[in-house]
C-alpha cells in the first residue's frame, strides 16, 4: 500500500513472507527510504527454514534506522528482538475491521487506503530530526559533504525567507542564493550548469514567439 504497487505475495497463512523484501519508497518530499518487509516476528519453528526466517528478520531490524511495528487493531503487540536501536513507529493495521487502536499508534487500513500518509510522515519525522543523519554509520558524508550540505541549507533558508515576503522584490538575490545552493550540492553530486537547466526547461515546454 505504501508503494502503490503489489510487491509482496499475500496469504492468510503465516510464513508467506520469508525473506526481507526491500523496495524504495518516498516518505516525504526529497526523502526516500529503503522499506524492508520482513517475516512476522514469532517463535521459530523446528525446521531450518523457520529459524532462518527469524534470523533474517532480526538482522534486518537491528540495522534499521526506523522500525515500523504493525499490529492488527485490537491485538496485543509482539515483542521486538534484542538489538533493535532504530526509532519505533507503532502502527495499528486493519482498522476497517474494527478493534481498539492504542493512543500511540497510527491507525491504518491497507485495503481502504487509510492512514498511509500518516505512516509516511511518522517514518520521516525521526529521519528529519537526525540533523542530516550525523551518525557513525554514515561517516562517509562527513566532514566535507556535511559542510556542503550546511551551506546549501543556509542558502535555501534565505530563499524561503525572501519568498515569504508579500512581494518578491529581490529576485536577483533569490537567484544568487539558489545558485549558491546548487554549487554547494554540486560539490557532492557534481556541478549543475545553467545550460543544463535551460535544456531541461526547453525539453519539457513548448515556447513560441
pLDDT at 193: 66
Q: CA 149, CA 36: separation in Å to the nearest integer?
A: 27
Question: Considering all CA atoms of the chain, what is the largest pairwise distance in Å, rounded to the nearest integer?
Answer: 75
pLDDT tens-digit readout, 57-81 = 888 888 888 999 999 999 998 888 7
Closest to 89 in 3D by CA, of 27, 15, 144: 27
pLDDT at 45: 58
Work out the angle at residue 117's Cα, subtended by the Cα atoms of residues 108 and 70, and round it to the nearest 5 degrees.
35
Work out the angle at residue 144's Cα, subtended by the Cα atoms of residues 123 and 146, and round it to the nearest 5 degrees.
25
pLDDT at 120: 94
* Cβ–Cβ < 8 Å for 177, 159: yes
Sole residue written with cell 504493525: 70
What tens-digit pLDDT sequence spans the chain (209 residues)? Answer: 888 887 776 666 665 555 678 888 888 877 788 888 887 776 555 677 777 777 888 888 888 889 999 999 999 988 887 888 888 999 999 999 999 999 999 999 998 999 999 999 999 888 877 654 545 444 444 567 778 888 999 999 998 988 888 776 678 888 889 889 988 888 777 766 666 666 666 666 666 65
DSSP state of 109: B
3-state helix, strand, coil in the chain (%, to 5): 40, 15, 45
| Helix (H) / strand (E) containing 163 | helix 144-163
pLDDT at 117: 94
Amino acid at each position: 500500500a505504501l508503494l502503490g504497487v503489489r510487491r509482496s505475495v499475500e496469504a492468510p497463512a503465516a510464513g508467506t513472507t520469508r525473506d526481507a523484501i526491500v523496495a524504495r519508497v518516498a516518505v516525504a518530499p526529497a526523502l526516500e527510504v529503503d522499506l524492508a518487509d520482513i517475516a512476522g516476528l514469532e517463535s521459530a519453528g523446528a525446521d531450518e527454514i523457520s529459524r532462518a526466517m527469524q534470523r533474517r528478520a532480526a538482522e534486518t531490524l537491528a540495522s534499521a534506522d526506523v522500525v515500523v511495528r504493525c499490529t492488527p487493531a485490537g491485538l496485543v503487540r509482539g515483542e521486538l528482538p534484542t538489538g533493535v536501536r532504530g526509532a519505533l513507529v507503532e502502527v495499528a493495521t486493519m482498522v476497517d475491521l474494527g478493534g481498539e487502536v492504542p493512543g500511540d499508534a497510527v491507525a491504518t487500513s491497507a485495503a481502504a487506503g487509510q492512514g498511509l500518509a500518516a505512516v509516511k510522515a511518522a517514518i520521516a519525522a525521526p529521519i528529519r530530526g537526525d540533523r542530516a543523519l550525523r551518525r557513525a554509520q554514515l561517516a562517509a558524508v562527513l566532514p566535507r559533504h556535511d559542510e556542503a550540505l550546511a551551506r546549501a541549507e543556509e542558502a535555501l533558508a534565505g530563499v524561503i525567507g525572501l519568498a515569504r515576503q508579500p512581494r518578491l522584490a529581490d529576485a536577483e538575490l533569490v537567484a544568487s542564493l539558489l545558485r549558491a545552493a546548487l554549487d554547494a550540492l554540486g560539490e557532492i553530486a557534481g556541478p549543475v550548469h545553467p545550460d543544463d537547466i535551460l535544456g531541461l526547461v526547453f525539453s519539457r515546454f513548448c515556447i513560441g514567439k
